[in-house]
Amino acid sequence: MHIRKGDKVLVLKGKDRGKTGEVRSIVTGQVKRSGERDSNRDRAIVAGVNIAKRHLRPGRVRTQAGIVDIEASIHVANLALICPHCNKPARVGNQVLEDGAKSRVCRRCGDLID
């Protein structure tokens, strides 16, 4: 997957199009028997994006009931990584380094991302 936890991303589609935020967590799909991934599960939770209302009842830990804003997940296909070098949204490629490690590469400027 081209998006990782801690990356700064730009939202490309949806009601929050144009907003930027940091990826808080990634929800990956399970691998099926045929070897393909469940694409409906490749989602990310981005800070300040896709805010949803959640109606909570009082419980043992939380005694206060009410309506709470939470960050819902968004599909990674609707996100673009913002390159830390050129500060623009860019596509991501993979490159194998001399020591055999695989690293992400910005397709716009050609620099290594991590």
The string of pLDDT tens digits covering residues 36-55 is: 666 667 899 999 999 999 99
66 assigned to some structural domain: yes
55/106 same-domain check:
no
Coil, strand or helix at 39: helix
* pLDDT tens digits, 46-85: 999 999 999 988 888 877 899 999 999 999 999 999 999 9
Are 97 and 78 part of one and the same domain? Answer: no
**Which residue range is the domain that position 49 belongs to?**
8-82
Q: Are residues 59 and 113 in the same domain?
A: no
Average pLDDT in the chain: 89
- Would you say residue 3 lies in a domain? no
Q: Do both 25 and 45 map to the same domain? A: yes
Handedness of CA 54, 17, 107, 21 (dihedral sign): negative
Shared-domain flag, residues 48 and 104: no
Res 27: pLDDT: 87
Phi, psi at residue 97, to the nearest 5°?
-80, 175
Quick one: CA dihedral 51, 4, 28, 92, positive or negative? positive
Q: Within 13 Å and on the Cβ side, how many CA atoms surround 48? A: 10
Asked if the structure places residue 2 within a domain, the reply is no
Q: How many structural domains does the chain have?
A: 2
Q: Would you say residue 19 lies in a domain?
A: yes
Same domain, 62 and 104: no
Q: Are residues 59 and 110 in the same domain?
A: no
The CA-based angle 107-78-55, given to 5 degrees, is: 145
**pTM as predicted:** 0.80
99 vs 32, residue with greater confidence = 99
Characterize the bridge pairing of strands 79-82 and 51-56: unpaired
